[in-house]
Amino acid sequence: MKKKRFGLSMSLLLTAGLILGGCGQQGQEEPKTDEGKVSEFSVAMVTDMGGIDDKSFNQSAWEGLQKFGEENGLKKGKGGYDYLQSKGDADYATNLNKLVRNDFDLIFGIGYLMTDAITEIAEQKPDNKFAIVDSVVEKPNVASITFKEHEGSFLVGVVAGLMTKTNKIGFVGGVELPLIEKFESGFIAGVKAVNPNATVTVQYAGAFDKADKGKAIASSMYASGVDIIYHAAGGTGNGVFSEAIDLKKQDPNKEIWVIGVDRDQYEEGKVPGTDKSVTLTSMVKRVDVAVYDLATKTKNGNFPGGQAVEYGLKEDGVGIAPTSKNNVPEDVLKQVDEWKQKIINGEVKVPTTRAELK
């Protein structure tokens, strides 16, 4: 009987000690997540075949992710911010799964080509958060980021239409997809709006990572009299710049231009040994801003799962590069601003497809 009372007394003392001990430490504990882990946030992205250094789409996304990581005191790598590069479409699902296994809180799939992989992995991992850029995946754990590329493309089309000397303009696309058709249709509409007599030659390379194909297409176009080429081809577009630079080095007086895409590509058009650039202007798509914004919202508990967020001229999600003033006359830029306001005000509806263009 005494032993039982003694055991009961000890149990009560131990329980009280644990409770008091817990109260004493309460103010010193680090915040916990729902799963009981220390509150942290990590984010990563998977590139499409264009690669992290495509001077375009993927690179812009990575710049946004880097900015987010650095501003939030994260380190590159597991537990912080990181990326995995895809060499082919077979890598998409593999890379996404690897980031899931490494416990990243938010995982971006960069590019339309990753739609199927994001859809598949999001279904398999309903408790994980994903985001896709340039496509819409209707899953509750996927946030979709899209842009009104046709609006920005219309504006650089206005520049091309007003500045061509030959009335021959080119468009080089990567892969012939509905997404790239938005670039093509908006661009041609912009050209025709200010110069109905101009013709636009369209050619697709069939890849976003083949600079040699981009160079060959550009060579053929320039040889035919085209004096301005707009590319929407990721890494393939690097070949367009390469060809224009080579021609400019051979003949400094040759008036040929490239219109960049996704980010300000003025530097990509620099002619070695000179202070000149063959980049006329660039259609800037602020992928970096969108990635940064979505990562911030998710970190703050506002993940827009199941929603599509679209960025256009009105949202400052697309536009022309600030360096346009280096090669584009002020009177042309003034007209660009006028067309921009017409689009924002709804006076002009920019086509997104070839059917709408017609």
The reply to whether 155 and 293 lie within a common domain is: no
The pLDDT, as a whole number, for residue 55 is 75
Same domain, 209 and 259: yes
Q: Are residues 102 and 189 in the same domain?
A: no
Q: Residue 306's domain is classified under what CATH number?
A: 3.40.50.2300
Residue 217, domain extent: 149-285+328-357
What is the pLDDT, as a whole number, of residue 299?
Answer: 97
Our count of domains for the chain comes to 2
State the pLDDT at residue 57: 82
Query: Facing residues of 132 across strands?
Result: 109, 144
Q: Looking at the structure, do residues 227 and 244 belong to the same domain, yes or no?
A: yes
Q: Which pLDDT value is given to residue 20? A: 36
Provide the whole-model pTM.
0.77
57-71 helix and 287-299 helix, angle to the nearest 10 degrees: 40
pLDDT at 40: 83
The pLDDT, as a whole number, for residue 225 is: 98
List pLDDT tens digits, range 305-323.
999 999 899 988 999 999 9
The pLDDT tens digits of the residues spanning 326-340 come to 999 999 999 999 999
Gap between the Cα atoms of 241 and 218, Å rounded: 9
The pLDDT value given to residue 292? 95
Low-confidence stretches of the chain (pLDDT beneath 50): 1-39
Beta strands in 214-294 (DSSP E): 228-232, 257-262, 279-285
Edge-to-edge strands of the sheet including 308-311? Answer: 81-84, 43-46, 106-110, 129-133, 142-147, 308-311
**Which secondary-structure segment (H or E) carries 203?**
strand 199-204
- Note whether 343 and 236 are same-domain residues: yes
